[in-house]
Structure 1
Amino acid sequence: MFKKILIANRGEIACRVIKTARKMGIATVAVYSDADADAVHVEMADEAVHIGPPPANQSYLIADRIIAACKETGAEAVHPGYGFLSENAGFCEKLEAEGIIFIGPKVKAIEAMGDKITSKKIAADAGVSTVPGFMGLIENAEHAAEIASQIGYPVMIKASAGGGGKGMRIAWNEAEAREGFERSKSEAASSFGDDRIFVEKFVEEPRHIEIQVLADAHGTCIHLGERECSIQRRNQKVVEEAPSPFLDPETRAAMGAQAVALAKAVDYQSAGTVEFIVDRNRNFYFLEMNTRLQVEHPVTELITGIDLVEQMIRIASGEKLAFGQDGVELNGWAVESRIYAEDPVRNFLPSIGRLTRYRPPAEGRFGDVVVRNDTGVTEGSEISMFYDPMIAKLCTWAPDRLTAIEAMSEALDGFVIDGIEHNIPFLTALMSHPRWREGRLSTGFIAEEFPDGFTPREPGVEERHVLSAVALAVELLRRDRLDRLTGRLAPHSGELKRDWSVRLNDEYVKASVVEGMISIPLEMDVSIDGAKPITVASSWRPGDAVWEGTVDGRTVHVQVRPVLNGVQLAWQGVSAKARVMLPRIAELDRLMPVREAPDTSKLLLCPMPGLVVSVAVSDGQEVKAGETLAVVEAMKMENVLRAERDCTVMKVNARPGDSLAVDAVIMEFD
């Protein structure tokens, strides 16, 4: 077994590998760029080596610097995590030449499966079902449009060396095929250094289901069941679960057998994933094979009890698998939510900055539920524009699917992040979505259910009652604390009355204290909108980020953030500003004028911090609605900004190469 390994990665996956290595008694070496000098993975590792500037192509993607770090520290092997050099055959060859072990498959498998065109040919030869498409070299946008027309729209345009949703576009017509080719080619070159593109038929109403395989160097190759990854946005997975609510035992066995056959065809040795597209009739088609550890591997670990990182290390050291296919049992249900630094209200645009508050839910077993949080950040960490926007992977396990979903909903409600925008409000709302809970999924789920983007729901009757009760409890404790701090002991100065008005956003709710004392822990009976009294109980104290307690016997976790003259409450995908007032003050509050937002209709504002890749127009140019105005890159993704109406460009303020902040004015219109 290895005595010391180097992790050629950063963030949560580097931390994840370090945890298993530590458990196995193996020393670890971290590598880091200038931007990651204070990162969590650097602190966790036994040693750390600096490898260059923030851009990945000047640090984490330079194989020679990784190898130099191995030599400097005496690391015997390298675990690549995912992304970066994890599927780079050239890197593996360099390691082998230096006598350093790569904790992953051999070069042959990486080369064969890393090229999506070659992999589909091998899959077909191995008897694996494949999607119709064109596997040859596509010369230009004209050629791409011609091929797409022959295959029949819709088509998927994909980078041959791609992964993680980058370099992928769906085209529904010729114009989209041309532009999709150009954007995919550009993203592929930027992300992978390989701009080859291929086109295949896009399966409508598809489900994305993948099989985890594990193979050693002694002839044993098995699968560990499936993961469903159908909840995606822009081909980027958002929520995963294991097993799939869609597969029956026969389909699972057939998919597992084909995945194992493909792995054997390339003499696979390590953990790997064979991804399939599955249609409504459970017909499945090979999509690609990822010759590395998947981001969503924790859900497989939770339902099998098998540590995949440990198995990768043992296989790389030459050990045999200690179990066969008969030794794999799928137990319970696991769900993973990817916590991203992106603003769901602004079409999920990237967000960067410092985590001024980072309070994840407690990990561990709680009765029949397990909570796990894989992360690489802590309070005070910086979310950089140079890397992937993922902050953490929150996972829950339970004996059944609905219990796991309920546990996830509760854990998300208690996950506090401030300083940047993030997608927790969206994930929380998703957990209560009827279609998700019923398991009626497809890769188009988000586009279909949120066609106009995500907007936090306005409180319904249940949410209004819960949030009003929590707001009242928070305000009464705040006032009581203020009275005590200023020396005004009971009886109070007249402010702590029985009857109140709670303003939730723009709605006024009557709230009355029926019975109870204002103290910690708090327990009181309140009536909302004249309804039957309900009991509110909590040990919450002013300043706590999460109000944890019960409302009418139901356990709730409500996030509480102070705002001007009130608090911002978030629960179950609902966000509301709450102000608690005496009834007379509420009457006057209704008369206050509403401030109008400034008119920005004649400006193109940068929607996220990013780098201007290109500007497609010039001063004085007339443009039509839908035409491309500029392309901005952020967190390794290119975002096309289009004209919302016919207009004339008066002034262009940004140029290619400019680094812009959120809401920077890119151009002005007439």
Structure 2
Amino acid sequence: MFNKILIANRGEIACRVIKTARKMGIKTVAVYSDADADALHVEMADEAVHIGPPAAAESYLIADKILEAAKATGAEAIHPGYGFLSERASFVEAVQAAGLTFIGPDPYAITAMGDKITSKELAAKAGVTTVPGHMDIIKDADEAVKISAQIGYPVMLKASAGGGGKGMRIAWNDEEAREGYLSAQNEARSSFADDRVFIEKFIEEPRHIEIQVLGDKHGNVIYLGERECSIQRRHQKVVEEAPSPFLDEATRKAMGEEAVALAKAVDYCSAGTVEFIVDKNRNFYFLEMNTRLQVEHPVTELVTGVDLVEQMLRIADGEKLTMSQDDVTLTGWAVENRVYAEDPLRGFLPSIGRLSRYIPPAESETVRVDTGVYEGAEISMFYDPMIAKLVTYGATRDEAIAAQRRALDEYYIRGIAHNIPFLSALMAHPRFQAGDMTTNFIAEEYPDGFEGGSLTDTTKEAMVVTATMINAIEVSRASQIEGQISEPEAPQLMRWVVTIDNEAFDTSIIPVGDHAEVVIGSKSVEVESDWMPGDPVFKGTIDGTYHAIEIDYDAIGYTLTTDGVSLPVRVQTPRAAELYKLMPEKIAPDTSKLLLCPMPGLVVSIAVEEGAEVKAGQPLAVVEAMKMENILRAERDGVVQSINAAAGDSLAVDDVIIEFA
């Protein structure tokens, strides 16, 4: 086995590989850019080598710098993680030419499966079912429209070298086919330096289900069950689980056998994934093969008990698989949520900045947190905005979801926007809980975007009770610190008016240590919690049910967050509440005549000129963030008065791009 390996990646996947290497007694070398000098993977590794400026194209994507770092530190092998150089055949060839071992498949498998057109041709030859479409390269937008019409709408336009949701567009008519082709081509050129685009039939009511495969260098290949990855946004996975709540054993076996056949056809040797689109009748079609480790691999590890990174290391070292297909069993259920630095209330726009507070839920047999950050770390504009992967396990799907909801409520992040409220809302959604999902789930359930979770009566009551209790504890503590009691009744009985969602509740409380009785109107509620002032999350039981509620302080109360719902909660004395009703409301400034930059990003183009008349829905500008192009459109008809930005400008959130008359 290797004595030392270099990890040609960063963030949570670098940390993930380091954990397994450490368990196996293998020393690790990290590489880092200027932006990652203080990153967690650098701290965790045994050694670290600086490789360049923040931009990945000048650091993590420079193969020569990676190889130089490996040689300088005496590393014997290189693990690529995912993304960056993980599926670049030329990098594998360079690693091998340098006398090092690539911890992954051979160049042929990467080349064959890395090109979506070639991979579909090989899949068909191997007897794998493929989606109908036009596999030849499309030469221009006119041809894209013509072929799309011939295939029959809806169609999917895809970058041949694409991945991670980039370079993909769905078209339902000629106009969308033309626009989608150009956008997919531009995005592919920017992300992959390869603007080839092909077209295939878009399967309606589709599920995205993938099969994990393991292959060694001795011709042995097995599959380790499936992952359901249907909850997606902009073709990027948001929630994954294993197994799928949709597959039966016969379909699982058929998909697994086709995945193995494809892997054998390209002499695959490592831990890879064969992805399928599955329709409502469980007909499945080959989508693509990812020859590297997948982001969502932890759910497979939890239900199979197999450490996929360990298997990759052993396979790369020439060992045979020690398990056969009959040895693979799926036990329990696992659910993974991708925690991102993005604002779901602002169209999921990326968020950058420093993590002023970062408190993940405690890891246990049922909770796993794969992260590459820590409190005080910075989320950079140069890389993918993933903060962590939160994975939970249970004996059943319901138990795994319940553990996920609890862990999300306990996850406390401040300093940047994040998507935890959205993930909590997904976990609470009745349709998700029933396993009724397609890749259109988010678009169907949130057609106008995410506006916050649903405030149920149970959640509202929990917030009222929590606000009453924590306020009482703080008032009692303040009285003790001051050495006097401001009101004779305070230690025994406190009365408040708690206002939430424009509804006022008369409450009273008798706090006794970790236990309290809160009265809301005429209803009495028992509360138990060891919460102390300064704790950012209230954890305790309310009438016997566990709740985790995040706390942020306001001038006259708190902002409480739980189950995807975040609301201000005022806690006042009865007299203060009476006077508050007389206060005038603050009017928000009018920005209806401004096009504001919705995220930190680079202006790619401005589509209008000063004095031009624009119609609602018309493209106004394109802003690139995290290598994704975002088209900004007019919300209403108007006339352009002034343009305050130009192509190439770097903008911050809410910078004014265009003013309208």
Instruction: Give the TM-score category using the shorter length.
Output: over 0.9
- Aligned with 1:378 (options 374, 380, 383): 374
Is 1:609–2:600 an aligned residue pair? yes
Tell me, yes or no, if structure 1 residue 149 matches structure 2 residue 152.
no
Q: Which amino acid aligns with 2:8?
A: A
What is the aligned partner in structure 2 of residue 573 from structure 1?
Answer: 564
Indicate which of 621, 624, 642 corresponds to 1:651: 642
Query: Aligned letter for 2:516?
Result: M
- Matching residue within 441, 444, 456 for 1:445: 441
1:668 aligned to 2:639? no
Q: Distance in 2 between matches of 1:422 and 1:193?
A: 30
Which TM-score applies when normalising by structure 1? 0.97
> Paired residue for 1:416, among 408, 412, 417?
412
Task: Please list, as runs of the form range in 1=range in 2, the aligned pairs for 1:543-582 lying within 5 A after superposition.
Answer: 543-582=534-573
1:529 paired residue among 521, 527, 531: 521
CA shift, 1:247, in A, is: 0.2
Over 3 Å counting, the alpha-carbon distance change for 1:494 and 1:556 in structure 2 is: closer
Distance across 1 between alignment mates of 2:43 and 2:492: 49
The structural deviation recorded for 1:464 is 1.7
Asked if structure 2 preserves the Cα contact closer than 8 Å seen for 1:164 and 1:235, the reply is yes
Query: What SS does the aligned partner of 1:599 have?
Result: coil
Q: Secondary structure at the match of 1:629?
A: strand
Q: Residue 92 of structure 1 corresponds to which residue in structure 2?
A: 92
Q: Say whether the 8 Å CA contact 2:231–2:442 is kept in structure 1.
A: yes
Larger mean Cα displacement after TM superposition, 52-61 or 296-305: 52-61
How many residue pairs match? The answer is 661
Shift of 1:498: 3.7
Query: How much does 1:33 deviate?
Result: 0.7
Q: CA deviation at 1:178?
A: 1.3
Alignment partner, residue 613 of structure 2: 622
Question: 8 Å contact 2:453–2:563 — kept in the other structure?
Answer: no
1:597 to 2:593 alignment: no
Contact 1:476/1:496 (CA < 8 Å) preserved in 2? no
Corresponding letter in the other structure for 1:560 = I
What is the one-letter code of the residue matched to 1:407? A
C-alpha contact (below 8 Å) 1:477/1:519 kept by paired residues: no
Deviation at 1:497, TM superposition (A): 4.9
- Do structure 1's residue 352 and structure 2's residue 365 form an aligned pair? no
Contact 1:622 1:646 in 2 (8 A): yes
Distance in structure 2 (CA, Å) of the matches to 1:53 and 1:490: 59
Report the CA distance between 1:185 and its aligned residue: 1.2
- Sort the Cα spacing of 1:669 and 1:491 in 2 relative to 1 into closer, same or farther, 3 A: closer
Unaligned stretches of 5+ in structure 1? none
SS in 2 for 1:13: helix
Q: Quick check: 2:421–2:453 contact (8 Å CA) kept in 1?
A: no
Matched with 2:134 is 134
Q: Which amino acid aligns with 1:285?
A: Y
Q: Which residue of 1 is the match for residue 114 of structure 2? A: 114
How far apart in 2 are the matches of 1:56 and 1:378? Answer: 21
Asked if the contact 2:113/2:289 (under 8 Å) is kept, the reply is yes
1:432 equivalenced with 2:428 (yes/no): yes
How far off is 1:491 after superposition? 5.9
Counterpart for residue 74 of structure 1: 74
Q: Which deviations, in whole Å up to 9, do the C-alpha atoms of 1:28-53 show, x marking residues without a partner?
A: 11111111111000111111111111
SS in structure 2 at match of 1:364 = coil
The separation in 2 between residues aligned to 1:171 and 1:495, in whole angstroms, is: 66
Whether contact under 8 Å (2:476, 2:490) holds in the other structure is no
| Deviation digits for residues 466-495 of structure 1 (CA, Å, limit 9, x no counterpart) | 110000001111111111222214864869
The alpha-carbon deviation at position 499 of structure 1 amounts to 2.9
The structure-2 alpha-carbon separation of the partners of 1:37 and 1:205, relative to structure 1 and needing over 3 Å to count, comes to same
Letter in 2 for 1:186: N
Find 2:497's aligned residue among 490, 496, 501. Answer: 501
Long gaps (5+) in structure 2 = none
Distance 2:541 2:489 in 1: 29
CA contact (8 A) 2:274 2:288 kept: yes
**How many angstroms apart in 1 are the aligned matches of 2:2 and 2:453?**
52
Aligned residues of 2:422 and 2:453 also touching (Cα < 8 A): no
Please say if residues 207 and 439 of structure 2, whose CA atoms lie closer than 8 Å, have aligned partners that are also in contact.
yes
TM-score by length of 2: 0.98
Deviations 1:167-207 (A, max 9, x none): 11111111111111111111111211211111111101100
Distance in 2, matches of 1:488 and 1:253, equals 72
**Residue pairs, 1:265-414, within 5 angstroms:** 265-365=265-365, 370-414=366-410
Whichever residue aligns with residue 558 of structure 2, its letter is: V
Q: Distance in 1 between matches of 2:10 and 2:641?
A: 44
**Per-residue deviation, 1:530:** 2.6
What is the distance in 2 between the residues matched to 1:152 and 1:496?
A: 73
Match of 1:50 in 2: 50
Q: CA deviation at 1:645?
A: 1.4
What is the CA distance between 1:564 and its match in structure 2? 2.0
Q: Percent identity?
A: 65
How far does the alpha carbon of each residue in 1:224-257 deviate from its partner, in whole angstroms, 9 at most, with x for none?
0000000000001000000000000000000000
Task: Give the AA of the match of 2:605.
Answer: S
1:309-368 per-position Cα deviation (integer Å, ceiling 9, x unaligned): 000011011000111101111000000000000001111111100000000000012xxx
Report Cα offsets for 1:127-170 as digits up to 9, x if no partner: 11100111111111111111111111111111111111111111
The Cα shift of 1:504 comes to: 1.1
Question: What code does the residue aligned with 1:559 have?
Answer: E
* Separation (CA, whole Å) in 2 of partners of 1:265 and 1:225: 20
Tell me if the contact between 2:425 and 2:454 (Cα under 8 Å) persists in the aligned partners. no
Q: Does 1:541 align with 2:532?
A: yes
- For residue 471 of structure 1, what is the aligned residue in structure 2? 467
For 2:630, the equivalent position in structure 1 comes to 639
In 2, the alpha carbon distance for the partners of 1:174 and 1:75 equals: 53
Q: Counterpart of 2:415 in structure 1: which amino acid? A: G
CA deviation after TM superposition for structure 1 residue 496, in Å: 7.6
User: In structure 2, what is the Cα distance between the partners aligned to 1:344 and 1:355?
Assistant: 18
Query: Root-mean-square deviation (CA), in Å?
Result: 1.3
Contact 1:510–1:530 (Cα < 8 Å) also in 2:
no
AA aligned to 1:585 is A
Note the C-alpha offset of 1:591. Answer: 2.5
Amino acid at match of 1:525: E
- How far has the Cα of 1:546 moved from its partner? 0.6
Q: Separation in 1 of the partners of 2:451 and 2:597?
A: 20
The Cα of 1:125 is off from its aligned counterpart by: 0.7
Q: Is the 8 A contact 1:385 1:635 kept in 2?
A: yes
SS in 1 for 2:272: strand
* Inter-partner Cα distance in structure 1 for 2:339 and 2:490: 45
Code of the aligned partner of 2:573? L
Q: CA deviation at 1:566?
A: 1.2
Q: Helix, strand or coil for the counterpart of 1:608?
A: coil
**Alignment partners' CA distance in 1, 2:9 and 2:72:** 17
Conserved in 2, the CA contact under 8 Å of 1:52 and 1:58? yes
After the TM superposition, which of the residue ranges 142-151 and 13-22 deviates more from structure 2? Answer: 142-151
Q: Counterpart amino acid of 1:200?
A: E
CA distance in 2, matches of 1:345, 1:57: 31
Is 1:15 the counterpart of 2:9 in the alignment? no
Give the whole-Å Cα distance in 1 for the aligned partners of 2:617 and 2:508.
53
For residue 392 of structure 1, give the secondary structure of its aligned residue in structure 2: strand
